[in-house]
A and B are shown apart, each in its own frame.
Chain A
Amino acid sequence: MSGQGKGIWGYLEDIPREVLYAILLVFFVAPMIYPLGLPVPITANVRKWYATIDALQPGSVVMIDFGYSGGGEPELGPMAVVVYKHLFEKEGVKVICMSTSIEGPQLWDKAMAEINPSRYGAEYGVDYINIGYIAGGETAMAAVGKDLRATTSTDYKGNSLDQYPIMDEIVDASSFDLLICYTTGGDQSEGWVRQWYTVYGTPYMCSVLAMMVPTMLPYMNAGQIISVTSGAQAGEMESLVHAPARGIKSADVITLTHILCLAYVLIGNVAYFVNKSKGEVK
C-alpha cells in the first residue's frame, strides 16, 4: 500500500509508536501539573484489608515481607507506606519485617523515611523492627515459620535480636497474628500460602503487582488469603487511612492514561475494520 491516497484510517493504523508514546507522556504529565482530583472508589478487597488491620488487638504481632524489588517500588511502595501508617496508628500492635527480596532492606529504609515512625510514637526495637533479607525464598519462609531465632539472630543492621524487647516472645509462625506480603514475585506471594497459611494457619494478606492479581485471586476465593490488593490500589487505602500521598496522586494519571489506552485500542480496531472493508489491509 503506497503512502498516496492512504486516507485518514490508513494513517491512523500506521501511527508511529513514538507519536503514541509522546501523547501518552502528555497524558501522564498534564494531570501531575494540573491535578483533576477525580474520585477514588474504594473496592471490597481494600475495605477487607483495612478492616482486618483495624480489628487487630493491642499486643498483636504482624509479620511483613518486604518482598518487592526496586522496579516494583513505584507501585508497591505507596501501599507499603500507608499500611505501615495504619499499623502504627493501632495502639500496641507490633510489626516485624523481613525481606525475601534482596533489595527489601533498602526499600524498607526508604519507606520508613517517608513514614517517619516517630510521628506515631513508634520506636525501633520496641514497636517495629526489620530482621533483614533472608535468602532462600520459600526455604526462608519455612525456616522463619519453624524457628525465627534459629534462622537469624540479628536485625538488618547486624545487631543482636536479644537486645530488642519486641523480639521477646517471638518464636515461630504461631507468634504472629497476621502476615502481610508485598511482592513483585509470584513465588513469594504463593509461597507464603504454602509455608505459613497451610502449615500454621496464619491469617495472610498480600499486595502484589496488578498483573499478579489474577493469579492470586483463586487463593483468596478459596479462603487462603484474606485480601489481595494491587499496589495500584494504594490511593483507596490512603483514603480509608486519611493519609493522602502518592497513591491518591496517581488516581488522576491512571484514569486518564487508561482512557487514552482505550482510545488507542478503539481507533486501532476501527481503522483495521474500515481498511479491511476497503480491501486495504496489509
Chain B
Amino acid sequence: MELNLVIQIWLASLFTIWIYSVAFRDNDFFKFAEYTFVGAAAGHSLVYAVDNLRRYGWDQLMGGAYLYIVVFLLGIILYSRYHPQYFWLSRYPLSVMVGIGIGLSMRAVVTAEFIAQIKSTAGIKLVGVTDPIQLFSNIVFIVLVLTTTYFFLFTFPKAHEGGLGVIPRIARYGMMAAFSYSFANTVLSRYNMIFGRLDYIYNQWLPLQGAIIALPIVLILLIYAMLPPEKRPWPKKQ
C-alpha cells in the first residue's frame, strides 16, 4: 500500500475516534479534531473558490468574453459590505444574485411544487381500489390532508373548540406521525453513518501494521482526556 494512503487511513481513523468521543464527554482530542476539520474544510472551499473563479470567470474573460468584466466587478463590489461608508454598494450584486435565484426557481416552482402536488393529491382514489391496505391508506391520506389544511387555515379560537376541536386534534396526531417518521429516518441515517465509519476503522485501519497496538493507546489517552483535571492520576496537583 502506498505511504500516502496509509497516512490517510491513519488520520481518518484517528479523527473519527476523536470526533465520536464527544458522545461520551467533551475532551481536548475532540476539540483538536473539530478545529482541524473546520480549518481543512475552509481551506478546501477556498481552493475550490479560486479554481471556480479561474474556470468559470478568468478563462472565459481571457477567451474574449469581455462581459465577464461586469461579473468580476459585481463580485468585487460584494466585498464593500465590510466598508462602513460604502457597504450599501454590496446590495447591488446581492440583488442580482437573489434575482437570478428567484427567477430560476420561479420558472418551475409553480408547476413542480404546486400544480403537480395538488394534482397528485386530488387524484387519490376511493372508488375502484381493490387492495384493502391501499384503500385504508387513501382514506387516511384524504382525512389528514383535509384536517391539516383546516388546522392551518382556520386559526381563530372558535375553530379549535367544542365539536370542531376534533378536526385540529386529528391533524395534530397526523403531523406528529409524519414528524416521527422523519425522526426515525434521521436515526437510521445517523446509525448508517456510524456504521460506515466503524466499518472503515475495522476493515481499513485495524489490518494496518501497528494499528492494533495503537487502538488501546488511543482509547486510554481519550479516557484520560475525558477525566476532569482533579481526577487525573497524573500529573498530581500540588
Contacts and interface: CB of A to CB of B under 8 A. Distances in A.
Contacts of B119: 222
A232 B23 CA distance: 22
Determine which residue in B55, B119, B189, B193 has the highest number of CB atoms from chain A within 10 A of its CB, and name it. Answer: B189
Interface in B176-195: 178, 181-182, 185-189, 191-195
Contacts of B105: 138, 194
Given A102-B45, A211-B186, A139 B112 contact: no
A75 B189 contact: yes
Given A139-B100, A218-B117, A198 B195 contact: no
Contacts of B52: 133, 135
A77 B44 CA distance: 20
A231 B195 CA distance: 13
A142 interface: yes
Interface in B74-119: 100-101, 104-105, 107-109, 111-113, 116-117, 119
Contacts of A215: 182
A232 B56 contact: no
A254 B195 contact: yes
Contact-residue size bin, chain B (C-beta under 8 Å from the other chain): 35 or more
Contact of B25 (A18, A152, A223, A246): A18
Contact of B188 (A18, A71, A221, A232): A232
Given A32-B198, A224-B112, A250 B192 contact: yes
A139 B202 contact: no
Contacts of A77: 196
Most central of A21, A29, A232 by chain B CB within 10 Å: A232
- Counting contact residues on chain A (CB < 8 A from B), the size range is 35 or more
A211 to B, nearest CB: 4
Contacts of B59: 153
Nearest to B120: A222
Nearest to B186: A211
Contacts of A212: 185
Contact of A230 (B178, B185, B194): B185
A274 to B, nearest CB: 23
A254 B185 CA distance: 12
B192 A254 contact: yes
A197 B189 contact: no
A214 B182 contact: yes
Contact of B55 (A21, A152, A209): A152
Interface string A3-15: 0000000000000
A230 B190 CA distance: 12
A138 B101 contact: yes
Contacts of A223: 116, 120
A214 B181 contact: yes
Contacts of A190: 112-113
B192 A74 contact: yes
B199 A230 contact: no
Interface in A213-269: 213-215, 218-219, 221-224, 230-232, 246, 249-250, 253-254, 257-258, 261
A213 B108 contact: no
Interface in A172-230: 190, 193-195, 197-199, 209-215, 218-219, 221-224, 230
Given A17-B23, A77-B196, 9 more contacts: A33-B202, A193-B112, A197-B112, A211-B188, A214-B182, A222-B120, A232-B189, A250-B195, A257-B195
11 contacts: A75-B196, A193-B108, A198-B108, A210-B188, A211-B182, A213-B185, A214-B181, A221-B120, A250-B192, A250-B199, A258-B188
Interface of B: 23-25, 44-45, 48, 52, 55-56, 59, 100-101, 104-105, 107-109, 111-113, 116-117, 119-120, 178, 181-182, 185-189, 191-200, 202
Interface of A: 17-18, 21-22, 28-29, 32-33, 71-75, 77, 102-103, 133, 135, 138-139, 142, 151-154, 190, 193-195, 197-199, 209-215, 218-219, 221-224, 230-232, 246, 249-250, 253-254, 257-258, 261
